[in-house]
Every structure is written in structure tokens, then in C-alpha cells.
Structure 1
């Protein structure tokens, strides 16, 4: 496909009138001087989103920014995956800049992310972000913005989702040749594409500047995805790419989250669990976790050890930043290598 533009902004929307003026103004104010395209797919909005988009058309034209709007009229919403794929299909840019209708791109976003992406084949580029309301997801925002380049790859199994958040994604068009976004209703289409990209040997890169204002609100589509569904996709990839390669491992957390993880494993992987470990003296004093739901006779009994007496590799089912730094100190004291001796599955 011949590219008419170097960059296409991919903007799916549904009933986004409350936020669109700020979103579109952010794209209008880009420091990137070459012509670019904004490909909008309207997912059957019932508010005045389309009218607001059209009100910006002349201003965009004056900046040599082409506005392309597509929609399928009638019926209910077709979903995030369908809307993103439709906007991509209607676009023609060599590079794709993903923009949610409720977020704001900072003026140098396209310029800096294009610089980061050029010359690196099959790279998914993200950026740091600012969250509004500012204290709405403090721990999540801190986690995402502080990840090291290596942790972009190792911390992909936490409940936080992709280590590069989707509203900051920027990539070459060819990256979507893996089939685009999953259009099945109720699935985490961003996480699925993220894992698929890594499965194909794709690389990750973050521009370490704040290039997006990422809005948190009750109507965000993120809230429509069941946590159990996300858990399934995380566990499925973790099992096939990590646990299947280990001969044995220890689950760090003998409490609710560690036991849930153990029960979620298939029988073959459960047999690889040599112990739980913890710091809670009461749990350790119990000696064993007995898997009562098992059909095996006798029931599986997994030892519970103090973390200093346990052996790596570890699957860590402990949430970060909730123990006043004690867990992090304990982990650091073992001098382990993340991605080799342990993975987080919190």
C-alpha cells in the first residue's frame, strides 16, 4: 500500500463530545510540521461528537492536516477492536500514532515518537504520560513511568497490562500485519496485540518524556473488560513462554493471590511448584498448603517456607508499593535477576 502520509493518527471514538475539543486541539498544536492524517472511526455515537470533529476541519486544513472520518451508521457500538481496525484500514500513513478520544497528545508527541521509531524495524514505541485526575491511579502511573528498558519486557505479566500503555503507542504500519486488534467483544484487545507483537519478535521502546495526558474516568472502555478475562490471557502466555521452560519454581506469597495462582495452573505446571514462600510466621508455621479441591489422592501438599529458605526461580504474586518498601527490600537482599530468577505476576 502506497503511503500518502508519513504519519496517520488513529482515533476511534464513541460519544466523546465531552473530551474531543481538548483531544483535537492537542493534535492541531503538534510541532511536527509535515502534513499528516487523522483517521477517525465513529462507533455509532449518539452525542454531537461528529459535529465537533467537523468544526475543526478548516483549522486542520490550514495546517495541512487531513481529516478522514468513517462510520457505519445504525445499530449499536461495534467495539474498540473493530473501531481501531476500521480507522487503520481507512488510513494511509506509513506510521500509526494511536490516540484515544478522551486523551491529549502533547505538542511534541508525533515529532519525538517518529524519531524514536524510524530506523528500528518492528518496534512499538510508547512514552511516559501524565494522569488526570492526577491522583486517580498513583501506583499504576508511577509503575508505568519508572519501568527500565529491560522491565518493559519482564513486567508484562502484571495486572497492570502492557508495559507501554496503549494511548501512547506509535509504530510502523507493518507491525499490524499480525492481524490487527481482536474484535471479539469483551476481550483486552490491546494486551492481545501487545503479546502477539512480542511473540513475533517485536521490540519495545519508550520515549522518556511525558507525551500524553491520559484521562481516568468511569466511562473509559477499560472498565468494561472483566479482570478474569485479563487474568486468563496473562496466565496463558506466562505458562507457555516462562513456566514451561522451568523445571521447578516457588510461588512467593502463601496467601490469597499465591494460592489463586497455584489453583489456576494446569496439573502439569502445579507439579513444578516446589514451595510457597512468605514472611508471615503464621502461614509458615502451617508447614504446608493442602490443595483440597484436587481430585488426586492423596491431596497435593506444597511446603510453605520463609523466603530466605526458598529456592528460585520465583513467581512473585505480591503487589508492589504496598508494604512500605519491606517486600522490595527483601527481594533486593537476594540479589536476583528479574526475567531469569523471578517474574512478577501480581
Structure 2
């Protein structure tokens, strides 16, 4: 059944006024920020049309100054979507430059009225059961960001990343939030209640180069939010060079991760070992606050050359004498550990070494890689 409607007058960003139907609350709003997505929209919108969810649904699209015919394509789907009971809300702006994904998401949410929000990128495709299964999961996991497994296209692109998305355990959704992969449930799969978004958000509107998804994810965890995943593939997740994620620098992500690690983990530990005496381990050490550098009791490694050297000297330190941190074989080191070795890159050797010490992830070690 379509939600009740009445006319309202709104003002768009260009200063014009237009009449718009004001809608009663619906169960789920599908949130689509859009920028020059014309070539993908037909596939994206057809998939929304064929959702098997039986509750009330709304599509809310905000066009972030597209220069192609994206908005015309969406308008072309309005009649078919509304015939299926899916309300359609479309707006946007025509500024010279786009204002960024965070801005577009916030605008799409503000103009929507769903009790739950299903985030959908315009270049991805949801499977028919996505809204239904994530809506059901939201009742089991209130105040949570709910994701799902994905199919990556083109096949074989970002193979390690895709495997990581799909194989994390429920516990690892909470423990591996410090890795370079970003949120443990990827943004294009997010589903949450409107009330939780309002408590955590809005998204950062800094624009290009700002990881608005990671900032929101960390803030959700700070607010005590949960992380959950429907263990079925519910989204075709497209990889292409124009994706906005490519505009975010590694250094930006690194700093956010270090700060969050210090806030959530290292502040609770009296001392710890950095697992990796190489480049990444040393970079982490140098990135720590002076107080947390004092807590590093050792580096550990499997490289005999590093171990035989015996220590790492922090040359940039203003202390005299300069700090010298012991370098040990991992079997001679003591927990807790911050592991700075890339996952899924050692043919299982890292994981075997960790398992041999009978360590518990989230208590005895965290991955930061």
C-alpha cells in the first residue's frame, strides 16, 4: 500500500519554489546520492523495482550537480516505480562543482521519510532480497550498521578486499575496524534506522578527499553502535576508476586509524608489542603520541636480520639518549600485540603464527595493517 500523501511547497537550492507531495512515514527509504551516474542507473533502478520487500518503500535521490542526464534517467523510472508502490523523491543542485558524497547523502536523507535507511550507490546493483533481509536483521540488531556480503565486478578486481568483506566473522566486524580496508561493513551495503543516523550523523560534508563513511563508522562505534552483516550476497559492488573512494589519500585514512586505535585500544593498555619491525611497524610507532610510544615494550618479527640487529632507534626523537626499542622473535615477545602485517598476504603464515600463541583477537591482539 502506498503511504498517504498531501501537497507541500518546498524551495530548491537555486531559490525556486515547487509543489511537492508530502508523504507519510514509510518503512524504508532507499538513499541514492548521485553524480554523473547515467550509464549505471538503469540497472540500479531496475533492481530497486524488483525488490521482494512487502513493506512500504521510498526512493530518495539527490543529484550532486551532475553534468550528464542522470536526473532525466531517474525521472524516466518514476512511473514504473510508483506503479509498484515505491514513492520517488528527486532533488539536487546545479552548482558549478559537486559538493561531495557526504552532502548528497545528508540531503537525500533529509528529504526522505523512511523509518529505516537503505544506502545504495548509483553504480551498484541490489539483489531482490536485499531490503527485506536487512530490514529483518535491523530488528535483531538495533542501533547497528547492517551490511551484507557482496559480489565484486569486474570479477577478480580487488580480490583480497572482497574476500575480507565476505569472510569476516561477527566478532571480527568489531575487532578489525582499525585495518586499512576501512569499515568492516562497506558503505554501499549499509542499512540502519533513521533514529540511529540522527544520533550519529550527519555525514561529514568536507567533499572530495574526505572519507565520510569511515568518519561516520567510527562515530557510530563511539556512540555504542553495533556492527552486523547479513551473511548472504545482497549487492553487486562495482569497481571503477571514477569511484569517489579513489580521491581519499592513504595518509588521511592512516591518521584516522591511528587516532581511533589510540583512543579505543592503546588508552586501555599499559604496554604492548608492535608485530612488525619493518616499515609499517616503525611508521605506526612514529605516529603514536609520546605517551603511547612509551608503552611500546618491543617490536617483534620473523626476519632474522631485523632480530639480530637487536633494536630500533627512534632517530627523530628529541629525547637523549634516543629511545631504542628491542626487536624480538615473535615467540619471545609478549602480548598484547598490534599486528602491522597485511592480512592474506603471507599464504597463511601470519595467521598460523598468531594461532600458535593461542591468542584471542580483540583481547591479545588487534590488526592494524
Please indicate the TM-score interval, normalised by the length of the shorter structure.
over 0.9
Q: Aligned-pair distance for 1:204?
A: 1.4
Which of 34, 48, 51 is the equivalent residue of 2:69?
A: 48
SS of alignment partner, residue 343 of structure 1 = strand
Q: Aligned-pair distance for 1:11?
A: 0.2
Q: How does 1:271-282 map to 2 (within 5 A)?
A: 271-282=294-305
Q: Distance in 1 between matches of 2:24 and 2:176?
A: 35
Residue 306 of structure 1 is matched in structure 2 by 329
Residue 206 of structure 2 is matched in structure 1 by 184
Q: How does 1:161-176 map to 2 (within 5 A)?
A: 161-176=182-197
Q: Which moved more, 1:8-17 or 1:197-206?
A: 197-206
Q: Aligned-pair distance for 1:296?
A: 1.0
Residue 203 of structure 1 is matched in structure 2 by 226
Residue 11 of structure 1 is matched in structure 2 by 32
Q: Under a length normalisation based on structure 2, what TM-score does the superposition of the two structures give?
A: 0.92
Contact 2:141 2:228 in 1 (8 A): no
Q: Distance in 2 between matches of 1:91 and 1:3?
A: 10
Structure 1 residue ranges (4+ consecutive) displaced by more than 4 angstroms after TM superposition: none
Q: Distance in 2 between matches of 1:173 and 1:68?
A: 17
Contact 1:39 1:91 in 2 (8 A): yes
1:68 pairs with 2:102 = no
RMSD: 1.2
1:290 pairs with 2:328 = no
- Structure 2 unaligned runs (5+)? 1-21
Which of 325, 333, 339 is the equivalent residue of 2:356?
A: 333
SS of alignment partner, residue 19 of structure 1 = helix
Q: Deviations over 1:307-334 (max 9, x none)?
A: 0000000000000111111111111100
Q: Give the direction of change, closer, same or farther, for the CA distance of 1:280–1:2 in structure 2 (3 Å limit).
A: same
Residue 133 of structure 2 is matched in structure 1 by 112
Q: Distance in 2 between matches of 1:320 and 1:3?
A: 47
SS of alignment partner, residue 39 of structure 2 = coil
Q: Which moved more, 1:172-181 or 1:151-160?
A: 172-181
Which of 82, 88, 95 is the equivalent residue of 2:116?
A: 95
Q: Deviations over 1:175-222 (max 9, x none)?
A: 112231011132211011111111111111100000000000000000
Q: Distance in 2 between matches of 1:138 and 1:311?
A: 33
Which of 313, 321, 339 is the equivalent residue of 1:316?
A: 339
Q: Aligned-pair distance for 1:55?
A: 1.2
Q: Under a length normalisation based on structure 1, what TM-score does the superposition of the two structures give?
A: 0.98
Q: Aligned-pair distance for 1:232?
A: 1.0
Contact 1:3 1:94 in 2 (8 A): no
1:234 pairs with 2:265 = no
Q: Aligned-pair distance for 1:3?
A: 5.3
Q: Give the direction of change, closer, same or farther, for the CA distance of 1:43–1:23 in structure 2 (3 Å limit).
A: same
Q: Distance in 1 between matches of 2:340 and 2:69?
A: 45
Residue 154 of structure 1 is matched in structure 2 by 175
Q: How many residues align?
A: 346
- Structure 1 unaligned runs (5+)? none
Residue 121 of structure 1 is matched in structure 2 by 142
Contact 1:13 1:43 in 2 (8 A): yes
Q: Distance in 1 between matches of 2:283 and 2:32?
A: 38
Q: Which moved more, 1:1-10 or 1:270-279?
A: 1-10
Q: Distance in 2 between matches of 1:150 and 1:105?
A: 25
